[in-house]
Structure 1
Amino acid sequence: MIPNLDWMQHAACAGMDARVFFATGNHARAQVHAAQRVCATCPVAAQCADWAIQTGERWGVWGGMSQHQLRQRRRRFTSRAKTTMTVPKAPVKKREPAQCGTRSGYQKHLREKTEICGPCRQANTDADNRLRRTGTATAAA
């Protein structure tokens, strides 16, 4: 998707030398303040700052914000986006209770410390024997 950049033609900096907004050298702080003064008169400074944050601009003054201010706002923007995004959870499959005569029934007896019935004991023995023979306790379908 191509972003709508029509706001750029209404910017106070339209037609200016872009180097004004990218401070370098010993007078960087003064250059940043000069760029911010231009941005203070700009009717589209908010769109400019939003664009810089969304596109990940790392250098220069955008929307009247220095590199440091943009980084701070980008962190707030991304952390807010993470907290507001909700990921749909998979529906929880309701589990059937373990039934007597199965290995899970045998394990339920152990968990609940109840007397193990004959069918559960036999199911556990069968599963153990199957595990030794085939490498899996699950019966073949």
Structure 2
Amino acid sequence: MDREWESKAACLGQDPEIWFSQTTWTKARRICRDECPVREECLEAILARESGTPDSLRAGIFAGLTGAQRAKVARRRAPQPTKARTKPAGSGRQLAACGTKAAYDRHVRKKEPIDDACRAANAASGVAYRATGSTKVPASR
């Protein structure tokens, strides 16, 4: 990502403490909102840098937004999960439908948002494992 825009930022040369101290956040937000010509570029850069970061670890003021506000923007921009995912014809196995343990594992592996049905399937799988000590399906008699 080209970072040439940083040389035009209004925060350049400012005391770094104002961006991370809650007592000076008002001043920091004012600088970003009123004076910064590269606010959009800053927002895109910080969202890319913080992707995958838990909301509780997003700190400071960037692009005029607090960590919680940036997390909200990131959630709005995230692609929404679909209920049934399939691969194009001839491309191998079909993906497990949401609401299964396999789909939950896929969401985790691919760092996708986890829907409630998959979360419930994972919980049920954990309960069954703790009860039986096995992940195998019991043989029918």
TM-score, structure 2 length as denominator? Answer: 0.51
Question: In the alignment, what sits opposite 1:38?
Answer: 31
CA offsets 1:37-91 (integer angstroms, 9 cap, x no match) = 01011000111011111110721111111111101011112235x67xx975233
> Per-residue deviation at 1:9?
0.4
For 1:74, give the aligned amino acid.
Answer: A
1:61 aligns with 2:54: no
Gaps of 5+ in 2: 93-141
Q: For 1:53 and 1:9, locate their aligned partners in 2 and report how far apart those are by CA, in whole Å.
A: 19
1:6 aligns with 2:4: yes
1:75 aligns with 2:80: no
SS at match of 1:63: coil
For 1:66, give the aligned amino acid.
Answer: T
1:90 aligns with 2:89: yes
Residue of 45, 52, 55 corresponding to 1:51: 45
Gaps of 5+ in 1: 94-141
For 1:36, give the aligned amino acid.
Answer: R
Distance 1:77 1:90, change over 3 A: same
SS at match of 1:79: coil
Q: For 2:66 and 2:91, locate their aligned partners in 1 and report how far apart those are by CA, in whole Å.
A: 48
For 1:60, give the aligned amino acid.
Answer: G
For 2:46, give the aligned amino acid.
Answer: A
Question: In the alignment, what sits opposite 1:138?
Answer: none
TM-score, structure 1 length as denominator? Answer: 0.51
Q: For 1:68 and 1:54, locate their aligned partners in 2 and report how far apart those are by CA, in whole Å.
A: 15
Identity among equivalent positions (%) equals 27
Q: For 1:87 and 1:7, locate their aligned partners in 2 and report how far apart those are by CA, in whole Å.
A: 41
Q: For 1:17 and 1:36, locate their aligned partners in 2 and report how far apart those are by CA, in whole Å.
A: 14
For 1:65, give the aligned amino acid.
Answer: L
**Larger-gyration structure (1/2):** 1
Q: For 1:43 and 1:87, locate their aligned partners in 2 and report how far apart those are by CA, in whole Å.
A: 44
Following TM superposition, where does structure 1 have runs of at least 4 consecutive aligned residues deviating by more than 2 angstroms? 90-93
